[in-house]
């Protein structure tokens, strides 16, 4: 991918991602109204947005505008902006909104700087980013060539290096389901094929945390259909800097149709099974 900044600039971008994601994380925990409701819905009645999703995005966007005025912005919620630096901030203010609504402590703020056009599969790549779980205090971050790192609530950092994975039938695999009925029916048909071939399935509810869990060894693999760039941008880099592989099906780029995250050779084994399962599931 062209336009990747030098390491000093990448280190600055990584620090900006860490700072801004940390601030938004504190905001969504400390400023959560006692009676948090649904502000509006998007693709379906269960695809919800709370005032905190929009509030956190507005906070992140304003901070980035101040720190990096020439960069573009693409967020899950309303409000994006163009830039002329060649860099775009791709942001999910609360990944795992339904978990947040139900006070399930598995949601994250995801902030990534990317080169290329994040709306076109195969035409973009993350260069620096951070994923913050503001409840557990876990902070994942990475920059191109700088490795992947995680720190816990105690602030102590460790470098992530993925171990050789188990075979597929011993693999603990994460996945997720969309908000549209037709999509869920298709994903259930996929699961019927996949479940008998793996150790077990986990549905954590946040793609960013799922992918970081693979990088950290808390899952062996993850796949999902229906992700947007903001769900995957920062975690993608944490996974690849930890030694993992992140693609779509059949070696294609990660995209809405499918993402597959794991270390080799498990990644290749799972890709084959998912390809066959997708064929068996037929048209969505
Ligand atoms: C969520 C993803 C999750 C997926 C959910 C939803 P959101 O993102 O992180 O993996 O299964 O359907 O898309 O909507 O909470 O930002």
pLDDT single digits (tens) 75-125: 999 888 999 999 999 999 999 999 999 999 999 999 999 999 999 999 999
- Return d(Cα 116, Cα 161) in angstroms, integer: 27
**Ligand 1 closest atom vs CA 209:** 9
Dist. CA 276 → ligand 1 center (Å): 24
Q: How far is residue 123 from each of residues 62, 115, 201, 223, 252, measured CA to CA in Å?
A: 26, 8, 31, 21, 12
Ligand 1 contacts (CB < 6 A) are 76, 92, 95-97, 176-179, 206-207, 224, 231
Residue pair 229/90 in contact by the 8 Å Cβ criterion: yes
**Alpha carbon 69 to its chain's center:** 24
- Return d(Cα 112, Cα 131) in angstroms, integer: 9
Q: What is the pLDDT of residues 165-197, one digit of tens each?
A: 999 999 999 999 999 999 999 999 999 999 999
Q: How confident is the model at residue 37 (pLDDT cuts 50, 70, 90)?
A: very high
- Return d(Cα 106, Cα 111) in angstroms, integer: 17
Q: How confident is the model at residue 153 (pLDDT cuts 50, 70, 90)?
A: confident
Share of the chain above pLDDT 70, in %: 100
Q: What is the pLDDT of residues 203-248, one digit of tens each?
A: 999 999 999 999 999 999 999 999 999 999 999 999 999 999 999 9
Q: What is the pLDDT of residue 71?
A: 97
For 101, the token pair is 């609504």
Dist. CA 194 → ligand 1 center (Å): 20
Phi, psi torsion values for 131, nearest 5 degrees? -125, 120
Q: What is the pLDDT of residue 104?
A: 98
Closest residue (by CA) to atom 16 of ligand 1?
A: 95
Distance, first Cα to last Cα, the chain: 32
Q: How confident is the model at residue 32 (pLDDT cuts 50, 70, 90)?
A: very high
Q: What is the pLDDT of residue 3?
A: 82
| CA-based nearest residue to 258, from 194, 169, 215, 171 | 194
Angle at 204 between CA 199 and CA 205, to 5 degrees: 140
Dist. CA 7 → ligand 1 center (Å): 32
**Ligand 1 closest atom vs CA 228:** 13
Residue pair 90/119 in contact by the 8 Å Cβ criterion: no
- Return d(Cα 156, Cα 192) in angstroms, integer: 41
Residue pair 71/63 in contact by the 8 Å Cβ criterion: no
**Alpha carbon 180 to its chain's center:** 20
Tell whether the model's pLDDT for residue 31 goes beyond 90.
Answer: yes
| CA-based nearest residue to 284, from 258, 251, 247 | 258
Pairing of strands 172-174, 200-202: parallel
Closest residue (by CA) to atom 12 of ligand 1?
A: 178
Q: What is the mean pLDDT of the chain?
A: 97
pTM of the predicted model as reported, rounded to 2 decimal places: 0.98
Dist. CA 205 → ligand 1 center (Å): 6
Dist. CA 6 → ligand 1 center (Å): 32
Q: What is the pLDDT of residue 78?
A: 84
């Amino acid at each position: 991918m062209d336009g990747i900044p030098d390491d000093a600039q990448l280190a600055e971008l990584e620090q900006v991602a860490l700072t801004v994601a940390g601030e938004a994380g504190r905001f969504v925990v400390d400023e959560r109204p006692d009676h948090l409701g649904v502000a509006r819905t998007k693709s379906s009645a269960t695809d919800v947005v709370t005032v905190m999703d929009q509030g956190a995005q507005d906070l992140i966007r304003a901070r980035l505008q101040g720190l990096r005025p020439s960069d573009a912005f693409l967020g899950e919620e309303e409000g994006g902006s163009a830039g002329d630096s060649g860099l775009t901030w791709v942001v999910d203010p609360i990944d795992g909104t339904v978990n947040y609504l139900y006070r399930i402590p598995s949601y994250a703020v995801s902030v990534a700087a990317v080169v290329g056009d994040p709306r076109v599969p195969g035409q973009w790549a993350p260069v620096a980013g951070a994923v913050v779980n503001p409840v557990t205090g876990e902070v994942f971050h990475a920059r191109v060539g700088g490795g992947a790192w995680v720190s816990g609530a105690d602030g102590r950092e460790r470098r992530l290096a993925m171990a050789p994975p188990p075979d597929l039938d011993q693999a603990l695999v994460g996945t997720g389901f969309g908000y549209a009925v037709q999509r869920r029916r298709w994903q259930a048909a996929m699961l019927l094929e996949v479940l008998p071939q793996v150790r077990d399935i986990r549905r954590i509810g946040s793609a960013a945390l799922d992918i970081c869990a693979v990088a950290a060894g808390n899952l062996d693999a993850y796949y999902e259909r229906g992700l947007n760039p903001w769900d995957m941008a920062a975690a993608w880099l944490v996974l690849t800097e930890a030694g993992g592989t992140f693609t779509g099906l059949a070696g294609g780029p990660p995209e809405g149709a499918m993402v597959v995250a794991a270390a080799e050779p498990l990644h290749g084994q799972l890709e084959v099974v998912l390809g066959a399962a997708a064929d068996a599931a037929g048209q969505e």
